[in-house]
Amino acid sequence: MLTYTSGRNLFGKLASNSSSANLTIADTLINEKIREVITWKPWDFRERTRTASTVASQQFYNLPNDFRKLKNVTVTIGSTKYSPRECKSREHWDRLNQSTTTSNTPEWYYVFNKQLGFFPTPSSATTDAITYIYEKGHKDLSVADYTTGTITTTATASNVTTVTGSGVTWTSAMVGRYIKIDTGSGGDGLWYEIATVPTSTTLTLTLPYLGTAISSGSATYIIGEVSMIPEDFQIVPLYGALELYFTSIQPEIERADRFKRLFMEGKASMQSELGNKTSSPIL
């Protein structure tokens, strides 16, 4: 993984200038190029699924902070799954709502101000009735790697995802970041997404830890903030940032052209590898 810290440090080396002022510029350029890459195509890696419970007589439901664009919505009541149609204009939505109507059979949905509304308004409460797929937006990378303390225990049974640390102060803000336990101290060297942080010394992973279980150790680790771009292509925006840097901040035509070529080749590789949901050459 190319974390926020490792990415800006690599930028400094490739730009031959690792001063604090230059790395601050790098932060802006890298984040802008990450945003450019992830909005270039409707990549599958941007898709997220969430559920929400209906509340009796409540029409609108909050969407997550990382919401960018809704792709699909279903509402399951009992054994029936409904697929409401999208209301695409405020005028149409207002016409629908000229009178108060409640029902557990949704006909329309409408997205407004990061909220998802239904017509008719749900008439009863149903747990996890709403399922929606959305495109996640880019959150600027800005948090340095966290390496304080050590890992003392990891999963000792299959499908267990708990990790325990010593001398650490983990927080809920780390949810969504990635952790790697170093191979030199007993870890498997793979990156795992953090799902929850129940306490300041325990966290859970979205997938089970695959390395040899640590039962009473002191393994070193890294918790890093990374972009949503798959690991193999996380360096692509860095090339784009360096192209922009050598075009405007520190003009050097030859180096700018070199990084432009790497950036374009990287985007082409992403399109080839990630452009379809299937690897079938037929599609």
What's the pTM value of the predicted model, to 2 decimals? 0.86
* CA angle (211 as vertex; 206, 217 as ends), nearest 5: 105
* pLDDT on residue 283: 44
Pairing of strands 80-82, 150-153: unpaired
How much is the pLDDT for 150? Answer: 95
Mean pLDDT of the chain: 93
For the chain, what are the domain ranges? Answer: 4-41+140-232, 46-136
Spatial contact of 73 and 131, defined as CB atoms under 8 Å apart: yes
Yes or no: say if 212 and 184 are a contact pair by the CB < 8 Å rule: no
- For the chain, which ranges sit under pLDDT 70? 156-159, 277-283
> For 214-251, how does the pLDDT look when each residue is reduced to its tens digit (9 = 90+)?
877 889 999 999 999 999 999 999 999 999 999 999 99
CB burial class (10 A; 0-12, 13-18, 19+) of residue 62?
exposed
Burial of 277 (0-12, 13-18, 19+ CB in 10 A): exposed
CA atoms of 75 and 265, how far apart (whole Å): 42
Q: Name the one residue in this structure whose structure tokens are 């000792």.
A: 156
Give the other-Cβ count within 10 Å of 116's Cβ: 21
Q: What angle do CA 179, 50, 56 make, to 5 degrees?
A: 140
The string of DSSP codes covering 149-214 is: SEEEE--SSTT--EEEEES----GGGTT-EEEE-GGGT----EEEEEEEEETTEEEESS---SPPP
**Quick check: 222 and 254 in contact, CB under 8 A?**
no
Length of the chain: 283
CB within 8 Å of 203: residues ≥ 6 apart? 162, 163, 165, 170, 174, 179, 194, 195, 196, 197
In this predicted structure, what is the pLDDT of residue 237?
98
For the purposes of burial, counting CB atoms within 10 Å of the CB of 73, is it exposed (0-12), middle (13-18) or buried (19 or more)?
buried
- Do the beta carbons of residue 129 and residue 53 sit within 8 Å? yes
Spatial distance between the Cα atoms of 126 and 143, rounded to a whole number of angstroms:
38
CA distances from 17 to 26, 27, 33, 150, 211 (A): 10, 14, 19, 32, 38
The contacts of residue 243 (CB under 8 Å, 6+ apart) are 256, 259, 260, 263
